[in-house]
Chain A
Amino acid sequence: MLEDPSPVVVDLGGLREIGEWLRREAQHLTQDPAREVHFGQYSPCGETNAARWAVLTVLDGHADRADHHRRDITAIASALNDVVTRYEAVDSASAGNLRKLGR
């Protein structure tokens, strides 16, 4: 745990773990359902035809939103990684300064 004069608390290990989890989630969520409809191909029924269209629209919408969501969690994982790197640098600089003071 690293504390500085401002009210900032950063658990670098915890943040790293959360970032890794997000990256794994992005991998798990990669496979979207195929854009296919397996009913009503030969039906003259207007309702069936409308249902085919509706299912395709749902699948399209899901693919778009899922893609957006994946990009979001990847971006957040990257941002967390950035935070960890910057605090590590601060940590390292602080340790160096402390060593200098100790001399």
Chain B
Amino acid sequence: MIWSTAWEAYDVPRLWDAVRGESAPMGWEQVFGLQRRADLMGAHADGLRARRELLAEAWQGPSAGPMLGRWDALIATADAEASTLTLAARGLHGIMSALSGAKKRIEPLQRQWNDITSDWIPEYWEEVAAELNDDARTAMLVAAAEIRDHRSRLGVEPTPDGATSPPPALPGYRPASGALAGAPAPVPALAGQPVSMLPIPPGNPYAPQGGAYLLPGPGVGPHGMVVQMAGGPPPASTRRRSSWEIAVGVPPVIQPVTNAPGKPTAEAIAQFDDWFKTFATPWRAR
């Protein structure tokens, strides 16, 4: 059976992680390789057909009959294999195209996600994040439907192998319906799990050294909150520890700030990027 993915368990960064490696050159090479293989088998079948007449002329007699029968079986096998490979090449092309389309649709959403706290006032952060999540989930739904169509044309009864390693679901959400082998596992809504969050780059008045806005949801609560980077990235040995690094004294309610900080240095931005990757997407380091 195929598990049904609960896309609400994935936000834009997770979905971007799931598709950003798609449309790999090796994948397209495989598509064209399968088509070339189909052409080769087709040409082979044609060659067998052409030589069948030569064989029938060159050898006539009682014992030649069975040989012609085997020859006909060879032609049928080669024809069937050429058709199977053509279908496989087309199916794989369709699957690759569907995933490539999802990647193209989600890439700009990921860029917008990263810019939400810079481009919008805080009152809109959650709303814009929700819209981007909806768009990304729709892109995945569309891709999944296309993949289902193309996969069904391969003529193989599906049995998921569970060999993938997707990004973890959002804590507290069930990532797939049913408890099927290979389906993504739920992530408990406990402190330290990577919840959905927006980056707040250095220089933002709400987190001058940089920080993150934790979106409301399981593991966070009904209200979002700002988390300051506070002193730069944690030591490498503690990066995967399951505790939030929430600066003391940061108000959970966002207030207008009148004193905007100066432009951050390149070093501060690099330090922030490293911290945010570790904080928001720890699965990438695994």
Binding site for B on A (CB under 8 A): 6-11, 14-15, 17-18, 21, 25, 28-29, 32-34, 36, 38-59, 61-62, 65-66, 68-69, 72-73, 76, 79-80, 83
Given A7-B60, A29-B44, A50-B151, A58 and B88 contact (CB-CB distance below 8 Å): yes
Are A44 and B184 within 8 A (Cβ)?
yes
Q: How far is the CB of A72 from chain B (nearest CB, A)?
A: 6
Q: How far is the CB of B155 from chain A (nearest CB, A)?
A: 8
User: Complex formed: what's the CA distance from A15 to B63 in Å?
Assistant: 14
Are A39 and B95 within 8 A (Cβ)?
yes
Within 8 A of A (CB), among B126-176: 140, 143-145, 147-148, 150-151, 154, 156, 158-167, 169, 175-176
| A contact residues around B26 at 8 Å (CB) | 36, 38
Given A28-B44, A53-B158, A72-B70, A42 and B21 contact (CB-CB distance below 8 Å): yes
| Other-chain residue from B24, B64, B148 in contact with A39 (beta carbon distance below 8 A) | B24
| B contact residues around A10 at 8 Å (CB) | 58-61
| B contact residues around A42 at 8 Å (CB) | 17-19, 21, 164-167
Are A62 and B99 within 8 A (Cβ)?
no
Are A53 and B160 within 8 A (Cβ)?
yes
Are A49 and B182 within 8 A (Cβ)?
yes
Q: How far is the CB of A49 from chain B (nearest CB, A)?
A: 4
| Other-chain residue from A8, A50, A76 in contact with B60 (beta carbon distance below 8 A) | A8
Q: Mark B18-35, 1 if CB is under 8 A from A, else 0.
A: 110110101100100110
Q: How far is the CB of A85 from chain B (nearest CB, A)?
A: 14
Given A41-B165, A58-B84, A29 and B40 contact (CB-CB distance below 8 Å): yes
User: Complex formed: what's the CA distance from A18 to B95 in Å?
Assistant: 41
| Other-chain residue from B22, B44, B143, B148 in contact with A25 (beta carbon distance below 8 A) | B44
Which residue of the partner chain A has the closest CB to B29?
A: A38
Q: Count CB-based A-B contacts (< 8 Å).
A: 193
| Other-chain residue from B18, B64, B88, B161 in contact with A45 (beta carbon distance below 8 A) | B18
User: Complex formed: what's the CA distance from A85 to B29 in Å?
Assistant: 45
| Other-chain residue from A18, A53, A58, A79 in contact with B161 (beta carbon distance below 8 A) | A53
Which residue of the partner chain B has the closest CB to A57?
A: B156
B261 at the interface (CB under 8 A from A): no
Are B61 and A76 within 8 A (Cβ)?
no
User: Complex formed: what's the CA distance from A5 to B150 in Å?
Assistant: 60
Are B151 and A47 within 8 A (Cβ)?
yes
Q: How far is the CB of A89 from chain B (nearest CB, A)?
A: 15
| A contact residues around B95 at 8 Å (CB) | 39, 48, 51, 55
Which residue of the partner chain A has the closest CB to B4?
A: A46
Are B167 and A48 within 8 A (Cβ)?
no
| A contact residues around B47 at 8 Å (CB) | 21, 25
Binds A, one of B73-81, B222-230, B249-257, B264-272: B73-81
| Other-chain residue from A9, A44, A56, A72 in contact with B5 (beta carbon distance below 8 A) | A44
Given A39-B27, A46-B160, A76 and B74 contact (CB-CB distance below 8 Å): yes
